[in-house]
Structure 1
C-alpha cells in the first residue's frame, strides 16, 4: 500500500461495537481471551507501571483511546483526572456511552474484575465508578498535527499513554518520528510516556476493512522515542510464537512492544 493510500485511509466505516464484540471477550475463568494472550500481557504491564509508585501527578492523557477503556483501569487508581483523546467520532461516542452507564454500552465489568484481581483489589465496582469519575474529558485528537489536541490542549500532562495507535496512524517511518514528537510534546518535563506498538506489521483487518501499519522494529521505536526528548527508555516485548495460522488475529506482525520513558527535564 502506498503512502498516498495510507494518507486517504479513514475510519468513517469503522464499526465500534463490532470491533469490541470481536476483540474483547473473557474466558469462563475470567481471563481476557486473546491470541497469544496479548491482553493479559498488556493489562499486567499497565498494572505494574501504575502500581510501581514511580509515576507522580494527577493528570493523564490517553491518545488514541478507541472505543475501549481497558487501558485505563489501573490508571484510575492513581490518576483522578484522565482525558481520552480519539480521532474517530464513533469511538468517542462509545466511550461516552460507557461513562454515562447507558444500556447499550459495552460491558467492561469482566476486564475491571480481572485487573482488580491482578492488583489484589476486591471492590471492582468501586474501581468502575472511580474510572467513570476520572475520565473528565473525551476529545478529538489528530496525532499528525503538531498540536494533537488543537484548542483543547490542556497540557502538559504528567503521563501520556498511547496503546496501538501511533504505528497505525503513520504513513512511513519518517511520519512515525513526527507523530511520536507531536504526542511526546504533550508530556511535561520529567513526566512519563507509555507507548505500545505493533512490531514488524504492515496491515491489520477488522474483518471488513484492512488498515495499513508502518513496519517498525523495536530498535527503531526506541530510538524514535529517544530522539523526541525522552530518556530512561524501558520496554517489554511479547514475541508471538508463530507468524502463521493465528485464528482471530487479523494482523501480520511478529509481536508487540510495551515501552515507558521519561521526558527529559528542561
Structure 2
C-alpha cells in the first residue's frame, strides 16, 4: 500500500474535502522564508506565474481563476496587473476559506509569508500593499461546476482576458474524455486573444487532502497539450517539473506541467 493510502478513506465526493487539513499539509513555509515543498515545486509554480504576469504579454483587467480551492497563492502575481479577479470554486468549504481570507478574519489561513515570498521574486518590497490589492482585486467568490456546458452564462459578465486553473481540471476529470469536455467548457470562458494558464498533475491516479483519498485521471503532457489545442488555443507553451521521487507525497504522479496558451481570434 502506498503512503498516500495509509490512514485515509477512499472517496469520490468533494463534500468530504477538508480545506483546513489540505492547507496545513500542502502550504508550509520554511524558516528561510521559502515555501517548503517537495523538490521545490511551489517556488517553481510561483516563479512561473511571476514570469507569466510580468512578461508583458497579457492585457485586460478581468481574470477568472477556475477551481481556486481554499488557496490564493496563484493569484498573488496576478493582482499586480489584474484589478478584477473572480474565484470560481465547486466546494463550499473552499469558497468559505477564500472569503474568510478576503475579509481578513482571524481564523483564515495566513498567506502573508507567501505574499512576501512572491514580492521578493518580483523585486517588490511592500508586501502589505500587495496583500491589500489582492483582497481588493478578488471581487467575487462564486460557485462553478466545470462540467456545465453553459459555464459563461452561469458566471455572467462575458469572457475573461485571462483564465487560470491550477491543479483542478486534471483533478476532477473522471477519464480522458471527461477532461477533454472540461477543457472545452473552460475554453469558452476565455475571450478571443485571451490567455489560458493551466497547471496539471501528470500521470497520477489518486491524491489526498490528508484525510480522504480522491481518484485522479492519468494524463500525459502530450495529451494535455493536444486537448488545449483542440479547444481553440494556439501558441501553447509549457514547463514540466519532473520529480525524482514522490516518497511521502499525497499524490502518485511523476511531474507537473505549467502551460500557457492564447485563444484563437477566430474562435468563439
Q: What's the TM-score, normalizing by structure 1?
A: 0.94
Partner SS for 1:33: coil
Per-residue CA deviations over 1:56-108 (Å, capped at 9, x if unaligned) read 00000000000000000000000000000000000000000000000101000
Task: Tell me by how many angstroms 1:171 deviates.
Answer: 0.7
The reply on whether 1:65 has 2:72 as its aligned counterpart is no
The reply on whether 1:211 has 2:214 as its aligned counterpart is yes
Partner SS for 2:14: coil
Task: Tell me by how many angstroms 1:27 deviates.
Answer: 0.5
C-alpha separation in 1, matches of 2:203 and 2:155: 33
C-alpha separation in 2, matches of 1:67 and 1:151: 21
Contact 2:171/2:217 (CA < 8 Å) preserved in 1? Answer: yes
Task: Tell me by how many angstroms 1:122 deviates.
Answer: 0.1
- 1:224 aligned to which of 219, 224, 227: 227
C-alpha separation in 2, matches of 1:73 and 1:165: 18
Partner SS for 1:115: helix
- 2:120 aligned to which of 114, 117, 120: 117
Give 1:188's aligned residue: 191
Give unpaired runs (5+ residues) of structure 2. 1-10
The aligned runs of 1:1-266 (5 Å cut-off) are 9-148=12-151, 150-243=153-246, 246-247=247-248, 249-266=249-266
Task: Tell me by how many angstroms 1:145 deviates.
Answer: 1.0
Per-residue CA deviations over 1:123-155 (Å, capped at 9, x if unaligned) read 000000000000000000000111235533322
Partner SS for 1:252: coil
Q: Which has the higher contact order (CA 8 A, sep 6+)?
A: 2
Partner SS for 1:20: helix
C-alpha separation in 2, matches of 1:91 and 1:133: 19
| Aligned length, in residue pairs | 256
Alpha carbon RMSD of aligned pairs, Å?
A: 1.0
Cα 1:52–1:144, aligned 2, differ >3 Å: closer, same or farther?
same
Which consecutive aligned stretches of 4+ in structure 1 deviate over 3 angstroms post-superposition? none
Contact 1:169/1:213 (CA < 8 Å) preserved in 2? Answer: yes
